[in-house]
Amino acid sequence: MTDQRKPRAVRGTLSPGSIAESALTLGDQEGPESMTARRIAAYVGCDPMTLYRHFANRIALLDAVADLAVGDVLLPDDRAPWVTRLRETLANTRRTALAHPGIAPHIAARPPLGPHGQQIGRMLLGALQDAGLGDEETVATSQVLIAYLSSSIAMAVATHGQRDDRWTEAVRALRTIGQVSTESMPAVGSIEQFTLGLDLLLNGLQLRTTTGSQAQGGR
């Protein structure tokens, strides 16, 4: 990641950072379909090719924009209870990602692993370690949490931006199973649905850790 040879200061104030910032602003205003190399170049006022002197390719540029966006995430105090740290970190990341509609789909598809993303990752790992999990469990659990977060963002983007006919249709069809009444249920991708699943994950985690006994793998 540090092998990016940064040439001398290019004309004026153009740099990977300034390009990513401009692209983020553009995406905030115009949405995901504006995040093409050509439209970003037009917005920052340079030739499309100039972007490729600062980034290896379009994906690398979007990675930078994504990590920049999650830099807005407000991280909880290290001294808060570990459950609180997990809940707030995840909820704030979701909210921040959705506040940047242009790059949110990319964040969902590719967890940002730049400096800001790593900071979030460290917060999650630290909280899980404080919960008393071992190393392997810590990493595995963090992946479960990140997976849930990513999918939640993706679902929120899909249902907000487009139509949710596909989901409502499927949920309706699923009413044939048992007595599940789908009428009064929170919509897929909604904050209510996200919170429900999050509570479920965190409660399960709390039970595991407070039980004192390590549950053995099933099968």
Binding site for a second copy (CB under 8 A): 1, 63, 83-84, 87, 109-110, 113, 117-118, 121-122, 125-126, 129, 135-141, 143-144, 146-148, 150-152, 154-155, 158, 166-167, 169-171, 173-174, 176-182, 185, 188, 193, 195-197, 199-208, 211, 215-219
CB 82 within 8 Å of CB 128: yes
To a second copy, the closest distance from the beta carbon of 191 in angstroms equals 13
Whichever of 49 and 215 has its CB closer to DNA, that residue is 49
Single out the residue of 108, 119, 112 nearest to residue 147, CA to CA: 108
| Strand ranges inside the chain, DSSP E | none
Whichever of 10 and 137 has its CB closer to a second copy, that residue is 137
CB 69 within 8 Å of CB 107: yes
Specify the DSSP class assigned to residue 211.
H
Single out the residue of 67, 171, 179, 153 nearest to residue 114, CA to CA: 67
- DSSP string spanning 79-135? TS-HHHHHHHHHHHHHHHHHT-TTTHHHHHHS---SHHHHHHHHHHHHHHHHTT--H
CB 208 within 8 Å of CB 201: no
Total binding residues toward DNA, as defined by CB under 7 A: 18
Whichever of 58 and 160 has its CB closer to DNA, that residue is 58
To a second copy, the closest distance from the beta carbon of 173 in angstroms equals 6
Whichever of 51 and 198 has its CB closer to DNA, that residue is 51
To DNA, the closest distance from the beta carbon of 29 in angstroms equals 15
To DNA, the closest distance from the beta carbon of 33 in angstroms equals 7
To a second copy, the closest distance from the beta carbon of 13 in angstroms equals 28
Chain residues 6-35 in contact with DNA, contact rule CB under 7 A? 7-8, 10-11
Distance CA 32, CA 13 (A): 25
Amino acid at 25: T
Chain residues 42-81 in contact with DNA, contact rule CB under 7 A? 46-50, 52-53, 57-59
> Which stretches of the chain bind DNA, using CB under 7 A?
7-8, 10-11, 36-39, 46-50, 52-53, 57-59
